[in-house]
């Protein structure tokens, strides 16, 4: 069978165990590489950095059901850094929201899987993003709505670090604290790089954790590639609901994680993996197969 699914699942003994965060993170990277390769698309560096964050959310944190993606009490996830959309598409497809085979249409003419994450026709995606600085505000509204309804579901928002240049992020941060949205949990994919150069050389965010605390949030920093540490951080954030403070997890990550020549290399924000570079990246990922 020459299908896309057979290609990305080759080497697994039967179907991969997508309930395991490390396996799902690997599949996000594997699909991310394949999708950006087929589509000649961008943002592989961000997909590789956010892989464990998305994997832990879908395996260990979110109350969502691929058979009933609109169930009213589901947790809401907003990928505010919409350019890492292929990571979410991969997680949704691998966990059964839609066929893995559909991932090969990413970026393609007539496809619904746009480069920046889209909700139109894609089960499991709550919100379309792509313009930065929108997701946290939408999450504030959802969390506020849930609070007004006395509902217990949570809202999760995945932000980029470069995205935190946007003033709107900080408007929403103030609003979330003001409305005491204890069930709002943000996680920043803190890979320390943005489009042109490092965060440090663009608009410095440090002391970043303290900034969030000063804005009235619970904040903690973790290794964003350590699935156990991420899971524990999410559990602590969930337990914080009673404090009335929203929580943010600063997940320290490496842009391009898992492919040595992409790691911390700004080139791979936009560059598409082709030819020998694709082959080399694939070889490195295959060596990490769980």
Binding footprint of another protein on the chain (CB under 8 A): 76, 119, 126-131, 133-146, 148-149, 155, 167-168, 171-172, 174-175, 178-179
Of the pair 11, 150, the CB lying nearest another protein is at 150
Q: Is 268 left (phi over 0), alpha (psi -120 to 50) or beta?
A: alpha
For another protein, the closer CB: 23 or 80: 80
Distance of alpha carbon 216 from its chain centroid, rounded?
Answer: 24
CB of 80 or CB of 194, closer to another protein: 80
In angstroms, what is the minimal distance from the CB of 121 to another protein?
A: 13
Q: Closer CB to another protein, residue 173 or residue 188?
A: 173
Tokens of 108: 């393609």
Q: How far is the CB of 199 from another protein (least distance, A)?
A: 21
- Residue tagged 């404090």 (tokens): 243
In whole angstroms, the minimum distance from the beta carbon of 98 to another protein comes to 20
On whether the CB atoms of residues 127 and 159 are closer than 8 A, the answer is: no
Could you tell me how far CA 72 lies from the centroid of its own chain?
22
Q: Which is nearer to another protein, 93 or 143 (CB)?
A: 143
Query: Among residues 132 and 229, whose Cβ is nearest to another protein?
Result: 132
- Run of H or E residues at 56: helix 44-56
Q: CA–CA separation, 69 vs 168, rounded Å?
A: 29
Shortest Å distance, C-beta 280 to another protein:
37
Residue with tokens 């998305």: 54
Sign of the torsion angle spanned by Cα atoms 123, 128, 132, 135: negative
Q: By C-beta, is 80 or 240 nearer to another protein?
A: 80
Instruction: Supply φ then ψ for residue 163, to 5 degrees.
Output: -60, -30
Give 168-234 as a 3 state SS string: HHHHHHHHHHHCCCCCEEEEEEECCECCCCECCCCCCCCCHHHHHHHCCCEEEEEECCCHHHHHHHH
Least Å from the CB of residue 202 to another protein: 20
The least CB distance from residue 115 to another protein, in Å, is 15
Burial of 72 (0-12, 13-18, 19+ CB in 10 A): exposed
Find the shortest distance in angstroms from Cβ 209 to another protein: 21
Residue 45 or 160 with smaller CB distance to another protein: 160
Q: How far is the CB of 134 from another protein (least distance, A)?
A: 5
């Amino acid at each position: 069978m020459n299908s896309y699914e057979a290609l990305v699942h080759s080497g697994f003994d039967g179907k991969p165990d997508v309930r395991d965060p490390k396996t799902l993170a690997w599949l996000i990277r594997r699909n991310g590489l394949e999708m950006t390769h087929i589509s000649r698309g961008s943002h592989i560096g961000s997909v590789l950095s956010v892989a464990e964050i998305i994997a832990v959310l879908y395996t260990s944190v979110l109350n969502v059901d691929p058979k009933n993606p609109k169930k009213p009490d589901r947790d809401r996830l907003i990928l505010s850094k919409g350019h890492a959309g292929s990571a979410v598409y991969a997680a949704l497809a691998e966990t059964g929201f839609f066929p893995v085979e559909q991932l090969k249409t990413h970026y393609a003419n007539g496809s619904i899987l746009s480069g920046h994450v889209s909700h139109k026709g894609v089960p499991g995606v709550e919100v379309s993003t792509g313009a930065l600085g929108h997701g946290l505000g939408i999450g504030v509204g959802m969390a506020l709505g849930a609070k007004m309804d006395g509902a217990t579901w949570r809202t999760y928002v995945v932000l980029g670090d470069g995205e935190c240049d946007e003033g709107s992020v900080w408007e929403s941060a103030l609003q979330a604290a003001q409305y005491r949205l204890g069930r709002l949990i943000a996680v920043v994919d803190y890979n320390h790089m943005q489009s042109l150069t490092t965060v440090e050389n663009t608009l410095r965010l440090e002391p970043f954790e303290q900034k969030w605390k000063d804005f009235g949030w619970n904040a903690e920093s973790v290794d964003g590639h350590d699935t156990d540490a991420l899971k524990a951080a999410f559990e602590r954030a969930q337990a914080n609901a009673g404090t009335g403070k929203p929580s943010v997890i600063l997940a320290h990550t490496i842009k391009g994680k898992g492919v040595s020549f992409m790691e911390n290399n700004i080139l791979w924000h936009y560059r598409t993996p082709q030819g020998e570079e694709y082959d080399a990246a694939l070889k490195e990922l295959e060596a990490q197969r769980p």
